[in-house]
Amino acid sequence: MQSVHIRSIEPADNPALAIIIRHTLAEFGANHPGTVYYDSSTDALYDLFQTPGSTYFVAELNGKLLGGAGIFPSDGLPTGTCELVKMYLLPEARGLGLGKLLIEKSLDFARATGYQQVYLETMPELRKAVSVYEKFGFGYLDGPMGNTGHFGCDIWMLKKL
């Protein structure tokens, strides 16, 4: 496989990323209310990730976006806590180690920014992602943290940095 380029999000990435996110959720039957499928911010990720303390990385091959992942200081999280967000890849980009690379870059950013722990929310439909999060040392929580508005997620995980 040719070299995949990992870079920060750009304004022109918005349409392709929104499609990747929504198609992935639909593919796994996770396109229900209370998920990013219905978030208006999904169509304007570049703008969202201009928030201080946030970043979003995209994986690109020959000018085509393959997916991305980011860190966001979601509302209501405890001090020193950020959220790993919007981790999605096209089907052809899965199983190549790109998810691992995107998570590593995101966690490195979180450490460098001074966060002490990283939270995430997901769903049973995305079980392959859950197993990846477990390998990174994310542990399960009994309930949600913060005010993400994603009531459609019922798996909550936390990793100490």
Q: Output the CATH code of domain 5-160.
A: 3.40.630.30
Residue 103 structure tokens:
């998570």
Residue 159 structure tokens:
């990793």
Q: What is the pLDDT of residues 80-109, one digit of tens each?
A: 999 999 999 999 999 889 999 999 999 999
Comparing CA positions, the residue from 103, 80, 87 lying closest to residue 21 is 87
Identify whether the C-beta of residue 42 lies closer than 8 Å to the C-beta of residue 36: yes
Please say if the pLDDT value at position 120 is more than 90: yes
At residue 118, the pLDDT reads 98
Token look-up 């690109």 returns 60
At residue 34, the pLDDT reads 83
Tell me if residue 134 falls in helix, strand or coil.
helix
Question: What ranges do the domains of the chain cover?
Answer: 5-160
At residue 33, the pLDDT reads 86
At residue 157, the pLDDT reads 97
At residue 141, the pLDDT reads 97
- Which residues fall within 8 angstroms of residue 48, CB to CB, at 6 or more apart? 41, 54, 56, 72
- Cα–Cα distance between 24 and 137 in angstroms, integer? 24
Identify whether the C-beta of residue 119 lies closer than 8 Å to the C-beta of residue 146: yes
Q: What is the pLDDT of residues 45-87, one digit of tens each?
A: 999 999 999 999 999 998 899 999 999 999 999 999 999 999 9
Mean pLDDT in residue range 39-50: 95
Comparing CA positions, the residue from 99, 75, 97 lying closest to residue 20 is 99
Tell me if residue 14 falls in helix, strand or coil.
helix
Q: What value does the mean pLDDT of the chain take?
A: 93
At residue 151, the pLDDT reads 79
Partners of 140 in the β-ladder: 157
Please say if the pLDDT value at position 121 is more than 90: yes
